[in-house]
Amino acid sequence: MADNTDKTGWSANLYNKNAPFVYSNAFTAPVLQMLSPQAGERIIDFGCGSGEVTLELEKIVKEKGGRVVGVDFSESMITQARARGLEHAYVADIQDLPDLPIGADIKFDAMFTNAALHWCKRDPRGVLRSAKRVLKPGGRIAGEMGGFMNCIGIRGALHKALKTRGYDAGAMDPWYFPSVEDYTDILRAESFEPIEVTLTPRVTALPAGVFGWLAVFVRPMILKDFSDEEAADIMKEVEETCRIDCQDSQGRWQMMYMRLRFSAVWKQ
Ligand code: BEZ
């Protein structure tokens, strides 16, 4: 398998190998149900990754001439999404969405997002402003992301390992895991009327263990400037700290994902 890591640290191949659960039917069913996509609609997927869910949406909407557009910060992901057959896939920062080459007058019925907004710590409200730039008046948004207490245990162990080595773990941590109250507040502040905002714990199996999870989601981002030796040292320490909570008696690894699910309507 070719290493297709891009300058943002993402590798679509590594993501597809170690974290396919992110876009599995079982894990995406609740957020897709909240979105309730209809034939003929135009839907934009914020943080479409390698396009698996986006292509499922396309099957539904294109029946009556609808269209799906995917955007992602990672070139590696967008290249993979296009290779899978997603025609309208663009590299862009959803915290500050630029004009897309789709026609300025094209507006969307809905913005969908899965497992992406927790990477938008720099400007979570910017994501909502970006949605308003491309939605029809009265358009809806539906999404799932990491919420308050997401990755509990692993995140704390990582902070401790970094702090004991003299690093500023808070500044290095790229994640935004809001509570129900936090997210409800920013929805309202950006003129979205919340329909549903909930937190749901989800135990998630890790086929490649905590170490494999860290290799996809931490090594290329938080630890990108570290030597291989120091990064491996930190990742081993984190896995070891988490072993008591995250590995069962048969040796299988799991972790706690806390899903923040939301749906809302843009009230102009
Ligand atoms: C998440 O989907 O919640 C997540 C994935 C990777 C890192 C942090 C959070």
pLDDT at res. 121: 98
**Mean pLDDT computed over 160-173:** 98
Would you give the distance in Å from CA 166 to the centre of its chain? 29
CA of 169 to the centre of ligand 1 (A): 17
Whole-angstrom Cα distance, residue 16 to residue 22? 9
The three-class DSSP label of residue 198 is: strand
State residue 27's pLDDT score.
Answer: 92
pLDDT (0 to 100) of residue 52: 96
The per-residue pLDDT of the chain, averaged, comes to 95
Going by pLDDT thresholds of 50, 70 and 90, the confidence category of residue 1 is very low
Amino acid, res. 24: S
| Per-residue model confidence (pLDDT) at position 104 | 77
pLDDT at 268: 80
Among 258, 73, 96, residue whose Cα is nearest residue 182: 258
Cα(103) to centroid(ligand 1), Å: 33
What string of DSSP letters covers 148-202? TTTTTTHHHHHHHHHHHTT--HHHH-------HHHHHHHHHHTTEEEEEEEEEEE
- Helix then strand then coil, in percent of the chain rounded to 5, is 40, 25, 35
**What's the pTM?**
0.94
pLDDT digits (tens, 9 = 90+) for 195-209: 999 999 999 999 899
Q: What angle do CA 182, 20, 78 make, to 5 degrees?
A: 80
Any residues with Cβ below 6 Å from ligand 1, and which?
Answer: 115, 118, 146, 150-151, 175, 217, 257
**pLDDT tens by residue, 87-106:** 999 999 999 999 999 987 89
Q: 218 CA to middle of ligand 1, Å?
A: 10
Whether 69 and 44 have beta carbons less than 8 Å apart is answered as yes
CA of 199 to the centre of ligand 1 (A): 14
Q: 15 and 216 in contact (C-beta within 8 Å)?
A: yes
Q: Which of 177, 190, 173 is nearest to 125 (CA)?
A: 190
Between CA 222 and CA 214 the distance in angstroms is 10
How confident is residue 11, by pLDDT bands cut at 50, 70 and 90? confident
pLDDT exceeds cutoff 80 at 186: yes
Write the class of the CATH domain 12-152+172-204+257-266: alpha beta
Q: Name the residue of 23, 120, 145, 150 to mutate for ligand 1: max ligand atoms within 8 A of Cβ.
A: 150
* Atom from ligand 1 closest to the CA of residue 259: 3
Ligand 1 centre and the CA of 37: distance in Å?
Answer: 24
| Per-domain residue ranges of the chain | 12-152+172-204+257-266
pLDDT at site 116: 97
- pLDDT surpassing 80 at residue 75: yes
Q: Which amino acid is at 95?
A: Q
Q: What's the order of all strands across the beta sheet hosting 42-46?
A: 89-91, 67-72, 42-46, 108-114, 135-146, 254-266, 192-205
> 2 pLDDT exceeds 60?
no
Question: Inter-axis angle of helices 75-84 and 52-61, to 10 degrees?
Answer: 50
The C-alpha atoms of residue 123 and residue 215 are separated, in whole angstroms, by 25
Ligand 1: residue whose CA is nearest its atom 2: 115
Q: What burial class does residue 145 get, using C-beta atoms within 10 Å of its C-beta: 0-12 exposed, 13-18 middle, 19+ buried?
A: buried
Mutate to test the pocket of ligand 1, among 14, 31, 46, 118 (most ligand atoms within 8 A of CB): 118
Rounded to the nearest angstrom, the distance between the alpha carbon of 213 and the centre of ligand 1 is 10
Q: Which atom, in ligand 1's list, is nearest to the CA of 175?
A: 8
Six-digit token string for 77: 């992901």
Nearest CA to ligand 1 atom 4: 146
Q: Residue range 42-60: average pLDDT?
A: 97
Tally of residues, the chain: 268
CA dist 213 and 210 (Å) reads: 5
Question: DSSP per residue over 150-163, as a string?
Answer: TTTTHHHHHHHHHH
**β-pairing verdict for 89-91 and 135-146:** unpaired
What does the pLDDT look like over 113-139, one tens digit per residue? 999 999 999 999 999 999 999 999 999
Band of pLDDT at residue 259, cut at 50, 70 and 90: very high
Q: Is pLDDT above 80 for 3?
A: no
